[in-house]
Amino acid sequence: MTNKPSDSGYFKAIEGIEVRTLVYGENTLMSEFKMTAGSKLPSHSHPSEQTGYLVSGRIILYIDDTAHEMRKGFSWCIPPDVIHHAEIVEDSIAVEVFSPVREDYIKYHS
Protein backbone atom coordinates (compact mmCIF):
# COMPACT_ATOMS: atom_id res chain seq x y z
CA MET A 1 0.00 0.00 0.00
CA THR A 2 1.18 3.52 -0.73
CA ASN A 3 -0.16 6.98 0.06
CA LYS A 4 0.57 10.43 -1.32
CA PRO A 5 0.86 13.71 0.63
CA SER A 6 -2.40 15.52 1.34
CA ASP A 7 -3.78 18.13 3.71
CA SER A 8 -7.16 16.41 3.83
CA GLY A 9 -8.51 13.17 5.20
CA TYR A 10 -8.34 13.99 8.92
CA PHE A 11 -10.96 12.66 11.31
CA LYS A 12 -11.83 14.08 14.72
CA ALA A 13 -10.57 11.59 17.30
CA ILE A 14 -11.42 13.76 20.32
CA GLU A 15 -11.81 17.49 20.89
CA GLY A 16 -8.66 19.22 19.61
CA ILE A 17 -7.06 16.09 18.14
CA GLU A 18 -7.47 14.92 14.55
CA VAL A 19 -6.01 11.76 13.04
CA ARG A 20 -5.52 10.22 9.65
CA THR A 21 -3.98 6.85 8.95
CA LEU A 22 -1.33 7.28 6.29
CA VAL A 23 -0.61 3.66 5.48
CA TYR A 24 -0.86 0.21 7.03
CA GLY A 25 0.21 -3.32 6.32
CA GLU A 26 0.06 -6.70 7.96
CA ASN A 27 2.18 -5.77 11.01
CA THR A 28 2.32 -1.95 11.28
CA LEU A 29 0.09 1.08 10.92
CA MET A 30 1.28 4.70 10.58
CA SER A 31 -0.93 7.65 11.51
CA GLU A 32 -0.54 11.42 11.56
CA PHE A 33 -2.05 13.49 14.36
CA LYS A 34 -2.90 17.21 14.28
CA MET A 35 -3.23 18.50 17.84
CA THR A 36 -4.47 21.90 18.98
CA ALA A 37 -2.75 23.78 21.81
CA GLY A 38 -4.60 23.35 25.10
CA SER A 39 -6.14 19.98 24.23
CA LYS A 40 -5.49 16.84 26.24
CA LEU A 41 -5.16 13.22 25.24
CA PRO A 42 -6.75 11.22 28.09
CA SER A 43 -4.97 8.36 29.86
CA HIS A 44 -5.21 5.10 27.95
CA SER A 45 -3.31 2.00 26.95
CA HIS A 46 -3.51 -0.49 24.08
CA PRO A 47 -1.82 -3.76 23.11
CA SER A 48 0.19 -2.09 20.32
CA GLU A 49 3.71 -0.76 20.74
CA GLN A 50 3.63 2.93 19.77
CA THR A 51 6.62 4.71 18.25
CA GLY A 52 6.28 8.42 17.51
CA TYR A 53 8.02 11.46 16.09
CA LEU A 54 7.02 15.08 16.74
CA VAL A 55 7.08 16.85 13.37
CA SER A 56 6.20 20.25 14.85
CA GLY A 57 5.04 21.88 18.07
CA ARG A 58 5.44 20.93 21.71
CA ILE A 59 3.64 18.43 23.94
CA ILE A 60 4.07 16.97 27.40
CA LEU A 61 3.88 13.19 27.04
CA TYR A 62 3.26 11.16 30.18
CA ILE A 63 4.41 7.56 29.96
CA ASP A 64 3.61 5.52 33.05
CA ASP A 65 3.18 8.85 34.98
CA THR A 66 6.63 10.15 34.00
CA ALA A 67 6.45 13.50 32.17
CA HIS A 68 8.52 14.01 29.01
CA GLU A 69 8.65 17.39 27.29
CA MET A 70 8.62 16.66 23.58
CA ARG A 71 9.61 19.29 21.01
CA LYS A 72 10.00 19.31 17.24
CA GLY A 73 12.32 16.45 16.25
CA PHE A 74 11.86 14.43 19.47
CA SER A 75 10.73 10.80 19.31
CA TRP A 76 9.40 8.14 21.69
CA CYS A 77 8.48 4.51 22.04
CA ILE A 78 5.69 3.37 24.35
CA PRO A 79 5.60 -0.36 25.14
CA PRO A 80 2.35 -2.30 24.77
CA ASP A 81 -0.22 -1.95 27.57
CA VAL A 82 1.56 1.00 29.26
CA ILE A 83 -0.75 3.82 30.38
CA HIS A 84 0.03 7.16 28.74
CA HIS A 85 -1.54 10.57 28.13
CA ALA A 86 -0.51 13.96 26.77
CA GLU A 87 -1.01 17.70 27.18
CA ILE A 88 -0.72 19.70 23.98
CA VAL A 89 1.30 22.85 24.74
CA GLU A 90 1.53 24.23 21.16
CA ASP A 91 -0.26 23.32 17.96
CA SER A 92 1.53 20.11 17.02
CA ILE A 93 1.83 17.40 14.40
CA ALA A 94 3.04 13.91 15.26
CA VAL A 95 3.55 10.77 13.20
CA GLU A 96 3.17 7.46 15.01
CA VAL A 97 3.62 3.81 14.10
CA PHE A 98 1.68 1.06 15.87
CA SER A 99 2.57 -2.63 15.93
CA PRO A 100 0.61 -4.79 15.81
CA VAL A 101 -1.83 -2.83 13.64
CA ARG A 102 -4.48 -0.90 15.56
CA GLU A 103 -7.58 -2.24 13.87
CA ASP A 104 -9.60 0.69 15.26
CA TYR A 105 -7.40 3.13 13.26
CA ILE A 106 -7.94 1.51 9.86
CA LYS A 107 -11.20 3.49 9.59
CA TYR A 108 -9.13 6.70 9.60
CA HIS A 109 -7.47 5.80 6.28
CA SER A 110 -8.80 7.84 3.36
Helical (H) or strand (E) element with 60 = strand 58-63
Confidence of residue 1 (pLDDT cuts 50, 70, 90): low
Residue 6, SS3 per DSSP: coil
The pTM of the full predicted model, rounded to 2 decimals, is 0.92
**Contact at 8 Å (CB) between 26 and 55?**
no
Q: What is the CATH number of domain 19-108?
A: 2.60.120.10
The domain ranges of the chain are: 19-108
Rounded CA-CA distance 84/96 in Å is: 14
Give the model confidence (pLDDT) of 42-78 as tens digits.
Answer: 999 999 999 999 999 999 999 999 999 999 999 999 9
Q: Residue 5: what pLDDT?
A: 65
Rounded CA-CA distance 59/63 in Å is: 12
Give the model confidence (pLDDT) of 81-93 as tens digits.
Answer: 999 999 999 999 9
Q: Residue 108: what pLDDT?
A: 86
